[in-house]
Structure 1
């Protein structure tokens, strides 16, 4: 009889084939799959600060799982922001809801000591966790992935995939079972998981100041945490980054007798904050290293953009500023910004604006030191100058201008249509304009060193930013003098005199106005300086000197035919007359000024003239007329965005209303004035609050 040979291959389990069978039949096959209940959660950190919003979000996803649909969440965030800590802490909180196991896999996507884990190796690790080390594992990735899904099917397992490099590294590990929950962390935004598997996305934010204080207090204890000033300083320097906060707190904890203020001094004294934010015996606790892992993974073009944008001097930027700084087109700049956002090296702040974390920016500046940035910074200064200049001309077109260079890239300066657009630009960009001004003055960009502060001074006046105005103009005067720009220096000194006058630094104001008067060579400029000097004297109560300056200025304005100057000087004469006890003469001067400003369509002048006229009318007891003009001035100041003088007109209106026994209305206007002054940080806010409190609470009849 011929031998009968059968060969059966593949993983088909038990095989029975009929043929020539003699004797007893014995069935053998692959052993049944052994399920192992994995408990792989790493220990949770002792000092975890509750991230209530993120915990609630993740738990809500578990609660809302839909039948037949696998739930996946991708958690991303900046280096050192605490993604792993949150993942592990939350895993311990919900582990009882996954009785069939909790599996943790670190993919080492960003690790200086080892390369990212190959997806096939990661799948092998998960399979071993599910079956045990003695189980057979297929060789190919697709087979491993299929077996992994089979083993996870129907089982309530929590799968934590930490530190993924990209979506491709994660995709083979994902279950298809609705009973499983998968949480993935990465420094980069994992858009591929959203597109292919409908994953939920969550960016981990920085800690708030209160959360930061709680984290440090957890290390140092309540007694040392009572040093509020030092705590606030440490929180400010770490800027909400959990790794930085934990390093600082750990340093404090190992020296329990050391005051926190000493630690803060060391942090402030370091050549770079990154030098102080590391632990010598824990290489993973080093903010510089953490950021470097993300930086080293960048393509060359993205790394260059990261370094270039780190040189931006202000707190945030938009795509136009990014294009100016990098020399790229708007589209290319937008793509570069989005790439850095996706990699969590740059954060969107709303309204199309972006910002670096302070420590990430510091790292970028370290890497940028070898780059040549002179041209890039000049382009940025040019862009900010022309953006501010365009806005300034819309806010006050009546003011004399100073020469500015041509706009290097006109397409980057957006069209502005009215004063509201202009005020919106200043509200969004003022801190950047100010930072650019200081950069130009620090690095001796001579033209920009005085052109930028000049374009900012009108907005500084409207929003009562007297100290910024004075600081930038002091440096601008020095730069113009060194450059031999006598005409520019004279105008800057006059503007600086006005800033000092608003600050109450009257001696300094007189010095600058007199210096401007000596430098000015034309009659109109001399009249402007005399008018400003008279404004100082009226605040000092030196009414005769005020009238003298005003008379000289008026004659010059009339000679050159400057009607706006004439109107301004008439207001000054009116204030001098009122101070000298001649309210009738004051009313006449202010009415003439108001008619001139009306004819010119100058709302600034109309507002000041109306308020001054109302003050003179109130002095004559003509309260109804005073209320009318104060109300009109209040509305005009509000319309042009002059918050300080809006508050002043509002307070004076309240005074006239009180004299008219209209207490309820007066109380409303005092409350508004106090709020305005508090918003701009003016010291008069407390005085107005006292006046308001003195009126007491409204009675039931509203009086």
Structure 2
């Protein structure tokens, strides 16, 4: 006789497939509560509260007893099902899988853990097939309403996961109608919009996918005042450029079990769990309580602080718990070792934020420059996401405060040697003070590490645990030493350690665990072979986050095979730990101890030679990788790129350490070597750090030429980020240096760069002065390409100031020079400028043809920056020819590239261009959105001309849609800005091509 119960619809029961009469609504509510809590007792007061809510009758207890009695009779025929009184409450004994809610949850869990997408799809189909309608249909109490809301959310989450699976299986065609209906019901859900866009694209409906994006962008702007998230924007960009990776897999062959192309990144940054973790049961239980949802609809952020002395096992406990509960954080886990007690290389909060944002899918070019902006972007990225954030080895509240999410959907774990009272007082952190391991647990850890010897010598094992101060780090090192000397009784090892501790100056009489753990370090170190001991000492000098075998070989002056052997030995003794991929790291206490030993035993020239050798290695390897990527030679570009990505944190550390500690030439050369890679799409924040270090190093050694080059590169980075005032200051410093050196060609380039910044700032007269000075220098040098470039820039100033005849006079000789030089790309660009000034159809046709040729050339060269500019130029020409749809498509592709490159100024300009094209095509609503984005971006970077254009465009869009009152403030602001800039107001369909600075 089979029994089935359901709440995913009306509350119902069936025995042998026959419905059971459960009585009136209140009685069904009682059964519904018991079914939700199947197998768990429910207090009578809880039942009354959930069944009656705020409308509790005087005889509720009696009525409840009556309902339960009737329900017992109703389910009496079901095997294994019963209702009994227990501990002040009532218990429904039942197999949870006989209840549709619990079966649904189990099937969804199995689907999410399935080994194949096909298996997952089948499980999701079973789970969602259990739903019959609205949960608890016909019942209405506050508890039911709250639970119903939760269950509908669970179903929606399962549907979204199911959609991802079906998309991976190539079943986008059958999924599309379902997605269309869901989008109509959830118009603001970005993940659903991504799935719908991907399905539309794969069904050959690229235009509809683009429209879907624009629709949700309008909805987000109107309803929430926000922009689409990074994942949605990234998918839209890939759809516009027909990214081949978006193609659907073959539907009859299961796709690889990977995340869908459009899915937001799910970081999984936790380091490996700790081997032979022992004890800490109470502490793990205390951390488990953090997962219990607090009262209220909007829980505050949960922050836990694990504090305790160095080596006590804070990180081990945190990682063990994090791995245990990571399934409770489906949106991912973020981890950073802040190295708060490393005197040389602590991780700044801004750098940690840059790493987190990268892991969350934010492109390097989009990471804001200032720490407050990064923190805001980080909080936005985590809002509403269930994520675990582990901040290991923090030294101060200031180091971690910017890394705290802004909502209670995430949980933060912090480890620190300090109590950090500010985290408790200000942020309500739950502090867990980690004490030394209890002696039984310490002995148990030894047993897990060295086996039965502990049982044979229990007293000696206890003495060894006590000698190690019951610190897990010391216990592991001592255990490895004992495991390596199996012929020596534990009692003899304890005596040896005791004698060593007495002789060790580091051991003080106060019983400081720090001193005792250092004594264990020393004991283990003294038992190393001489070559391993030297390698250990030198590894403590390495400034990076980890070290590869090849770098270790350079550091120690060994062959890679010998370095690998010694690294393996040091890892077996727990003095270092393997990080994977041939890399090894060190606990910060061990790093500090190794560096102390190096200062004591290795003469300063030897230490300097070791670091110089490994810095030489990084410089040579970086140069080789860059040659493969950008040089004329062969090689494997993917391998070169992977090497740079893996070593990037170490290379940045070498630059900053070298600039601060006397390896100035290495810092300068390494920064210059890396600049092209970082500038071409690497993390801009890291590029700024590296390049600033090079500038400081060059200044320290008085190398004004290297300093000027570094400042020029730094100015370019600032300009890319939209930090125009800072870019101008940096370029001025470079200009002064070049002028003092007499490097007139570089001085001309610096004048041109400075003029371009003034152009963006709306300082047109100053821009013209710098361009004219550059032109004079180029003429004196006989540099025809430089002359042509300066003439074009002067022509653009003239046009902006309303003097179009003079602009044409500048552009004509520039066109001749480019033609003589065979620079077809620049020639096409100037032709497009002249066509815009003269507005002759034949010139527009010529410009379009030349620009098409240029587009082919820049694409063949892999020049994304050039491609973005040509697309913008070509869009302007097509708009003038009346081909508005084609112009809009070109501008959208240009925007994709501008965003990938990180050229925020050009992005603002292209957004305004697109807004004008859309408005001319009759789409005022979308035009307003584009101008709105341009206004925000131009305001952030200080580009007042693009702000004016944006206000002008918004006003025109509002006037078109019949809202002149809303348009008036924008129209007035545009007029003020154009007046302040002393330039004519932008005419309708004024589509300026790429501004100076390309």
Higher Rg of the two aligned structures: 1
**TM-score where L is the length of structure 2:** 0.36
TM-score normalised per structure 1: 0.49
Write 1 or 2 for the structure with the bigger share of helix. Answer: 2
